[in-house]
Chain A
């Protein structure tokens, strides 16, 4: 769609009349990303790329360790969704001890789902209330000092408090199931470490109806924000794509375990109920010279046509229904609003994310009333295997963990496809769309550049993992000519200080 902007015309780049604009790093996304725009002398975009300065040592970090360490070890890959890595690794090492998902004790399966719903709920709450609501409530080009959660708390105090408490509730679910708010050891090979006791169950039940009510209200809010700004919200950063994710056997939305479903932009099914243990048969990853992050694609469609998007928009688009009533009603409204089989609006990621948050809250309540979560039958055992693959729907999309072990139970091979990698092409396409449709031909300003970041943030990318030393992440914009000479600079220091000029 906007592929022509991935690489500028060589005839143009060979002459010294292009300027390069660098947005480095993209703020309010996890990790370190950089946007470069190559402009001609009329400020028309000739090339737009999202580069990922991603740490590439995940596999090396894991290889050489005994497999039973993985559920704890992999949580340290990411400070944002450690539980997702924990559960994907747990599903993989289940297979290493001979346990397939169907053979997991019901109590363990339900406790893992409860843990996962808690994680997705708190992650989605954080993204909407903290990271995105400033843009959505104040506008993409609002005063820079307003674009943060504290401004939201000031002007929408009830909404801000709900965000904090929804986030806290999700953390409490994690703490009750895994024993700790972070670094918990809930899942182990073949099952779970502990069940909930009655006090823990009752503690979580106290507030769940309030959480459902707030999640439901947040869906109403995002629907109002989205539909009050049409057609802009349906057009901004929007691209038409394939979508991929897990679904239940009956076609319902699934976050923990299911088969792979992929649909094309017209909603036609490309792959359905595919066993993820054979993911290598349908998905390959392409390497491009200008980015550390790979570009996954469906092999049957090839690199040009086979790229796909994952995450809330993909999941809500792909499923036939959601098996909790309030979220299902919200899904039906969501799908109906655009008049097409599939919703392609990139900003609709926010809407879909909150529908999922509502589904999580409803599902937590259902599970808390299920006596299995207090059962002592928590672990199954089987015959050792040498390969295990675990796939779940993490908050940001489909997450693959694939391990091989030797006779001594040491991991000899590890392969991870993290959710944000699957959205690599989608994010790049959205950046190009915004660059082409909203920036080209205009003088660049900080609010306009925030538009680029808004497009990326819609995907809630996790660009690397959790290191965060104080003072490390200023925002820097550089304007260079084609010879690499710095002609202008904008720096936003970590203190918030904004400096313009060389």
Chain B
């Protein structure tokens, strides 16, 4: 049975602040009953994740971002053609586009929580700034996941920037 909520945190846990996505998943794992929440993690997004969106009511992508101007950003995603040329990694909007292309259906309501990261060296730990950002993002994600409806998440958009990083 597919769980209605998917939280997909991606990044390399051994590359400094790139671990932010997987670390937020650890927080959800500790703090929430996972009866209705699926947790998935990977180094990066790829085409097959489109198939993991099937049957979901809500999807939350979580990633480290160097483009955030604040501790974190939260945005609703729309399917978009992937012109990012970011090699083997896809953007979450492009994953939604793949979903739409292969199913012929609009993807489930999907959101991106971007957490500001600064340092991405192999073998480095989380930077102090990123640790603070993670704490704030976890609090925000906690509020989101305690109201598991798309409308409630859209209301939360007004509490944060709607910029897609």
Interface residues of A (CB under 8 A from B): 27-31, 55, 57-58, 60-61, 73, 76-77, 79-80, 82, 122, 126, 129-131, 144-145, 148-151, 153-154, 157, 160-161, 163-165, 167-168, 171, 181-183, 465-473, 475, 492, 494-496
CB of B88 within 8 A of CB of A30, answer yes
List 24 A–B pairs whose Cβ atoms lie within 8 Å, in order of A's numbering.
Answer: A28-B87, A73-B14, A76-B12, A79-B12, A122-B48, A130-B47, A149-B82, A150-B82, A150-B101, A160-B102, A165-B51, A168-B51, A182-B42, A465-B15, A466-B12, A467-B18, A468-B10, A469-B63, A471-B66, A473-B84, A473-B86, A473-B87, A496-B84, A496-B85
Knowing A469-B117, A470-B65 are in contact, say whether A57-B122 is a contact too (CB < 8 A). Answer: yes
Bound-state CA distance A414–B165 (Å) is 38
CB of B85 within 8 A of CB of A126, answer no
Knowing A76-B15, A150-B94, A471-B165 are in contact, say whether A494-B88 is a contact too (CB < 8 A). Answer: no
CB of A164 within 8 A of CB of B48, answer yes
CB of A79 within 8 A of CB of B44, answer yes
Bound-state CA distance A79–B18 (Å) is 12
Bound-state CA distance A160–B50 (Å) is 12
Least CB distance from A164 to B in Å reads 5
The digit string for B122-155, where 1 denotes a CB below 8 A from any CB of A, is 1100000000000000000000000000000000
CB of A145 within 8 A of CB of B67, answer no
Nearest residue, chain A, Cβ from B104: A157
Nearest residue, chain A, Cβ from B123: A61
Contacts of B97 in A (CB 8 A): 150
Nearest residue, chain B, Cβ from A461: B87
Contacts of B85 in A (CB 8 A): 27-28, 148, 473, 475, 492, 494, 496
Contacts of B41 in A (CB 8 A): 182-183
B43 within 8 Å of A by Cβ?
yes
Set A29, A77, A151, A163: member contacting B47, Cβ < 8 A: A163
Contacts of A149 in B (CB 8 A): 47, 82, 98
A-B contact count (CB 8 A): 158
Contacts of A164 in B (CB 8 A): 47-48, 50-51, 98, 102
Bound-state CA distance A160–B98 (Å) is 9
CB of A145 within 8 A of CB of B83, answer yes
Set B10, B40, B87, B123: member contacting A27, Cβ < 8 A: B87
Contacts of B11 in A (CB 8 A): 467-469
B81 within 8 Å of A by Cβ?
yes
Interface residues of B in 25-43 (CB under 8 A from A): 40-43
Contacts of A28 in B (CB 8 A): 85, 87-88
Greatest chain B CB density within 10 A among A131, A154, A469, A492 is at A469
Least CB distance from A29 to B in Å reads 5
| 12 other A-B residue contacts (CB within 8 Å) besides A131-B87, A150-B101 | A55-B121, A58-B122, A79-B42, A466-B18, A467-B11, A468-B44, A469-B17, A471-B66, A471-B67, A473-B85, A495-B83, A496-B85
Contacts of A471 in B (CB 8 A): 65-67, 165
Interface residues of B (CB under 8 A from A): 10-15, 17-18, 40-44, 46-48, 50-51, 63-67, 81-89, 91, 94, 97-98, 101-102, 114, 117, 120-123, 165
Knowing A145-B81, A473-B85 are in contact, say whether A153-B102 is a contact too (CB < 8 A). Answer: yes
Bound-state CA distance A153–B98 (Å) is 8
Knowing A79-B88, A469-B64 are in contact, say whether A153-B101 is a contact too (CB < 8 A). Answer: yes
CB of A151 within 8 A of CB of B81, answer yes
Nearest residue, chain B, Cβ from A170: B48
Nearest residue, chain B, Cβ from A453: B85
CB of A57 within 8 A of CB of B88, answer no
Knowing A150-B98, A161-B102 are in contact, say whether A494-B86 is a contact too (CB < 8 A). Answer: yes
Greatest chain B CB density within 10 A among A30, A149, A163 is at A149
Contacts of B117 in A (CB 8 A): 469
